[in-house]
């Protein structure tokens, strides 16, 4: 069996342990970075078997009110995943029911779920009560199109992903992570292990850089979800990617905060 650089492998002794081959030596050894560990380990090729590549689920709300618009982050992320032998499933969503349908169709659990859409902080809903952070999946901008994180229906829809084995979620939407109480309540109700969210406004060109960086940190570098987000925030900050000015918060926050 030929093991090459870039292959996804598993250990003969532990079938659940999956890693990425960083380099291959001619004398029957390979450097493997196991998922969840940042450092590569030199192991015998005889102890390795080819493994199914990890999967990522990318759900994108409509990013533009113009129906002919080609504004999307799918192409860049798909290209990265293809180059790294990662299974990339991407679907457009317009309502919470779409999330339930997609979750029920998953053949296996992705490493994490990436949701990209518009979002915002709203002090009140249409009844005049405080509502907090919301997501928006549709081209329309009306208040009726807002998916509030504080709504039990939102947590229930995302919990369908958790029931299929998903543990971590990245909400790639402006202001989704601004209010700690909203994210914490949503995370606990949906039963995610970690939820990463953006607490300020972020431009499309910034988001297009953040996404592949997070995928690289999680999948190629083998970092845990919360550590990967932290590394990405530091890395893109060097490039001047900080989002719009706002509160003294990191570009991406991870809940629960450790």
**Lowest-pLDDT range of 33-37, 123-127, 143-147, 187-191:** 123-127
Helix (H, G, I), strand (E, B) or coil at 173: coil
Cβ proximity of 110 and 225 under 8 Å: no
Q: What average pLDDT does the segment 17-27 reach?
A: 85
Q: What average pLDDT does the segment 105-118 reach?
A: 94
Instruction: Return d(Cα 205, Cα 200) in angstroms, integer.
Output: 15
Supply the CATH classification number for the domain 8-50.
2.30.30
Question: Which tens digit of pLDDT belongs to each residue from 189-241?
Answer: 999 999 999 998 888 888 889 999 999 999 888 888 999 999 999 999 888 88
Helices (H), 84-125: 96-105
Domain ranges in the chain are 8-50, 55-255
Split at pLDDT 50, 70, 90, the class of 126 is low
Instruction: Return d(Cα 191, Cα 186) in angstroms, integer.
Output: 8
Q: What average pLDDT does the segment 139-154 reach?
A: 83
pTM: 0.87
Instruction: Return d(Cα 112, Cα 197) in angstroms, integer.
Output: 13
Torsion of CA 166, 169, 172, 177, to 10 degrees: 160
pLDDT above 60: residue 125: no
Fold of the domain spanning 55-255: Rossmann fold (3.40.50)
């Amino acid at each position: 069996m030929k093991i090459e650089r870039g292959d996804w492998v598993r250990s003969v002794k532990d079938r659940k342990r999956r890693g990425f081959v960083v380099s291959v030596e001619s004398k029957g050894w390979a450097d493997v970075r196991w998922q969840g560990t940042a450092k590569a380990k030199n192991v015998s090729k005889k102890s390795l078997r080819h493994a199914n590549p990890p999967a990522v689920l990318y759900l994108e709300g409509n990013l533009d009110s113009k129906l002919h618009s080609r504004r999307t982050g799918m192409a860049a992320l798909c290209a990265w995943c293809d180059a790294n032998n990662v299974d990339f499933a991407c679907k457009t969503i317009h309502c919470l029911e779409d999330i339930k349908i997609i979750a029920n169709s998953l053949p296996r659990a992705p490493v994490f779920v990436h949701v990209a859409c518009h979002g915002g902080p709203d002090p009140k809903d249409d009844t005049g009560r405080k509502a907090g952070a919301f997501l928006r999946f549709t081209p329309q901008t009306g208040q009726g199109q807002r998916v509030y994180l504080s709504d039990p229906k939102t947590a229930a829809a995302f919990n369908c992903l958790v029931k299929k084995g998903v543990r971590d979620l990245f909400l790639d939407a402006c202001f989704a992570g601004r209010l700690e109480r909203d994210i914490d309540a949503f995370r606990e109700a949906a039963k995610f292990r970690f939820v990463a969210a953006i607490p300020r406004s972020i431009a499309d060109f910034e988001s297009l850089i953040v996404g592949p960086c997070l995928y690289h940190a999680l999948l190629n570098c083998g970092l845990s979800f919360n550590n990967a987000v932290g590394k990405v925030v530091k890395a893109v900050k060097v490039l001047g990617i900080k989002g719009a000015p706002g509160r003294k918060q990191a570009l991406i926050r991870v809940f629960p905060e450790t």
